[in-house]
Amino acid sequence: MNGAESLVRTLVASDVDICFANPGTSEMHFVAALDHVPGIRCVLGLAEGVVTGAADGYARIAGKPAATLLHLGPGLANGLSNIHNARKANSPMVNVIGEHATYHLQYDAPLTADIEGLARPLSHWIGYARSAGDVARLGAEAVAAARSNAGQIAALILPADTAWDAAPAGAAARIEPPARPKVDEAAIRAGAAALKRGGANAMLLLGGAALYGRALRLAGRIQAATGCRLSGQGANARIERGPDLPDVGRIPFVVDQAVAYLKPVAELVLLGARNPVAFFAYPGKPSLLAAADCTLTEVAVIEADLEDALERLADALAAPKDFTLPPKPALPAMPSGGVTLDGIAAVVARLLPDNAILADESVTSGRGIFGALAGGVRHDWLQNMGGSIGYSMPVAVGAALAAPDRKVVSLTGDGSAFYTLQALWSMARENLNITAVVFANRRYAILRNELSNVGAANPGPRAIDMLTLDRPNPDWVKLAEGHGVAAERAVDLDGFAAALGRALAERGPRLIELVF
């Protein structure tokens, strides 16, 4: 058994069952090992932003890390921005990065780069194999590191000779990460007291694993007992929503709206969430969003056992186990006519199939969708927590592979979609059950607002040019078809509803370009 095979067998033993890859020469033994060793599905991405974004999406839905296979420093570099997003979302990920053979490094061949240096700013754990005998142990440690705390980024650097040399000891056994620490009793008591004090003016701000599964249901008990508001952060890795689940709000992106959202909150109780901050600084606007006289109580950091914290908090509040959820808002009526942002939201909210997964990067175009879906079917809502655009379509790829029986909907602005449009090809190759909606307003619309928000008034034609995707207008139908994905264009809400209905009714990938 060579080092590469010892690594693949170790990954399988560690419950890693998928590898997103764009390999090169230095990774050929790993690729070959995937053929000899069953247990890992290997999915090709045509650029590394697809590869790492897909690993993020897979982790969010599967609840465990995927592996990636990246080609030396530049392959890692291309994947870094979606690693950044995954890191901010606490998605576990095991990045296997090929490297020149140890003895070849001294010659500074063209692809030589400081891989550890490139990995360090965005990785929680870095391992560098010095010999084939190292590889299996490091592989097991990498998976354990990825699964530690709330989910981490592990980087395993694999020189080519450590992959091709013999590894007589073979695979390594799975290493269990430490259990999530339980919060101490004082924090539970402080949280309960704050929620009681605040009543309807308290907000339980949830993050990480508190936003889905049994944890979220426990938050509903707490709300029933205290009347507090429940909210996620501005961006959240995964919020579970549906008729039988408590409705969780979100902090708006726009600073003034965020301040207004938090203004009534006298008691802000953090559970897996952080003190809310503005996405960007703006001249004359605050960085911290909570009211100046709001009391903050941190019950649990995101690394803690959030389900346990919620259960003890509910018990401390003597919260009822049977309770009625507050009524949900009605779904908006199906709209018609020209494209409006409310209309977009209503179409998506009315047509979304039960148990869908939404990877939302709709930016300005889709700001109404989350609210419109409050009274909708059950779904998971995934967001970009790192702010690096080009996250949605790759994340949809990974989510669809993690949940092949669910419809995945990627909602993305055209500016964002361009970053990782190669994800469409992976959707086609793997025949993934994804509907991708591209909101083609042909501009970085958010930046038009931001120009005035930062006080750069009266932009001239050259500034406007930098924020505009026209001249020429992209044709997303052709871009999708060029990647092997069927597509159609809509220019009004009726056309959008018809196209979305068709796409959602079908199994497999399909893209809709909504031009407005």
Report 255-274 residues binding a copy of itself (CB under 8 A). Answer: 274
Nearer to a copy of itself, 8 or 13 (CB): 8
Using CB under 8 A as the binding rule, the residues of this chain from 34 to 73 that contact a copy of itself are 34-36, 42, 44, 46-47, 49, 73
Q: Would you say 132 or 218 has its CB closer to a copy of itself?
A: 132
Three-class secondary structure assignment of 32-80:
HHHHHCCCCEEEECCCHHHHHHHHHHHHHHHCCCEEEEECHHHHHHHHH
Least Å distance, CB 207 to a copy of itself, is 13
CB nearer to a copy of itself: pick between 230 and 446: 446
Task: State which of residues 177, 227, 353, 387 lies at the interface with a copy of itself (CB under 8 A).
Answer: 387
For a copy of itself, the binding residue among 12, 331, 469, 491 (CB under 8 A) is 469
Whichever of 101 and 341 has its CB closer to a copy of itself, that residue is: 101
Judged by CB under 8 A, the residue of 202, 210, 445, 447 near a copy of itself is: 447
Of residues 272-331, those binding a copy of itself (CB under 8 A):
274, 277-281, 283, 287-288
Min dist CB 486 to a copy of itself, Å, is 11
396: amino acid identity, one letter: A
How far apart, in Å, do the first and last CA atoms of the chain sit? Answer: 57
Q: Which whole-number Å values give the CA distances from 157 to 39, 51, 163, 228, 254, in the listed order?
A: 22, 17, 11, 47, 40
Among 425, 439, 496, 516, binds a copy of itself (CB under 8 A): 425
Query: What number of chain residues touch a copy of itself (CB under 8 A)?
Result: 101
d(CA 333, CA 356): 20
Cβ-based nearer residue to a copy of itself, 81 or 410: 81
Question: Cβ 474 to a copy of itself, closest distance in Å?
Answer: 6
Q: How far is the CB of 269 from a copy of itself (least distance, A)?
A: 19
Q: Which of 168, 327, 337, 460 binds a copy of itself (CB under 8 A)?
A: 460
Quick one: which of 490, 468, 474 has its CA closest to 339?
A: 490
Tell the burial category of 287 from Cβ atoms under 10 Å away from its Cβ (0-12, 13-18, 19+): exposed
- Give the shortest CB-462-to-a copy of itself separation in angstroms: 5
Q: Which stretch binds a copy of itself (CB under 8 A): 79-87, 192-200, 364-372, 491-499?
A: 79-87
**DSSP assignments along 90-103, one per residue:** T--EEEEEEE--GG
- The type of residue at 301 is V
Rounded CA-CA distance 27/33 in Å is 10
On the CB side of 399, CA atoms within 13 Å amount to 31
Task: Mark residues 222-251: x for contact with a copy of itself by CB under 8 A, - for none.
Answer: ------------xx----------------
**Other C-beta atoms lying within 10 Å of the C-beta of residue 286:** 14
Identify which of residues 198 and 272 has a Cβ nearer to a copy of itself in the complex: 272
Between residue 90 and residue 149, which ones bind a copy of itself under the rule CB under 8 A? 100-101, 103-104, 107-111, 113-114, 117-118, 120-122
* Residue 514 near residue 412, CB atoms below 8 Å: no
Of 74 and 249, CB closest to a copy of itself: 74
Distances 201 to 263, 320, 327, 371, 508 between C-alpha atoms, Å: 9, 20, 19, 21, 46
Q: Contacting a copy of itself (CB under 8 A), which of 178, 327, 337, 472?
A: 472
How far apart, in whole angstroms, are the C-alpha atoms of residue 404 and residue 61? 11
- Cis, peptide link before residue 74, omega less than 30° from 0: no
Shortest Cβ 23–a copy of itself spacing (Å): 6
Contacts of residue 71, defined as CB under 8 A and 6 or more positions apart, other chains included, come to: 22, 23, 24, 25, 26, 27, 48, 97, 98, 111
What part of residues 155-194 is at the interface with a copy of itself (CB under 8 A)? Answer: 160-161, 164
Residue with tokens 């220019």: 491
Among the listed residues 16, 352, 385, 401, the single contact to a copy of itself using CB under 8 A: 385
Give yes or no for a contact between 25 and 397, defined as CB atoms under 8 angstroms apart: no
Q: CA dihedral defined by 215, 150, 408, 363, rounded to 10 degrees? A: 100
Identify residues 338-377 at the interface with a copy of itself (CB under 8 A). none
Least gap, CB of 305 to a copy of itself (angstroms): 23
> Could you give the CA distance from residue 513 to residue 450 in angstroms, rounded to a whole number?
25
In the complex with a copy of itself, the residue whose CB is nearer, 100 or 137, is: 100
| Chosen residue from 10, 14, 68, 81 binding a copy of itself by CB under 8 A | 81
Nearest distance in Å: CB 415, a copy of itself: 8
Q: Does 418 bind a copy of itself (CB under 8 A)?
A: yes
Among 10, 26, 148, 152, binds a copy of itself (CB under 8 A): 26
Residue 35: exposure state from Cβ atoms within 10 A (0-12, 13-18, ≥19): exposed
With respect to a copy of itself, which residue has the nearer C-beta, 32 or 498? 32
Q: Are 35 and 29 in contact (CB under 8 A)?
A: no
- Chosen residue from 326, 329, 404, 482 binding a copy of itself by CB under 8 A: 482
Residue 170 has a CB neighbour count (10 Å cut-off) of 11
Distance, in Å, from the CA atom of 117 to the CA atom of 123, rounded to the nearest integer, reads: 10
- Closest contact distance (angstroms) between CB of 146 and a copy of itself is 19
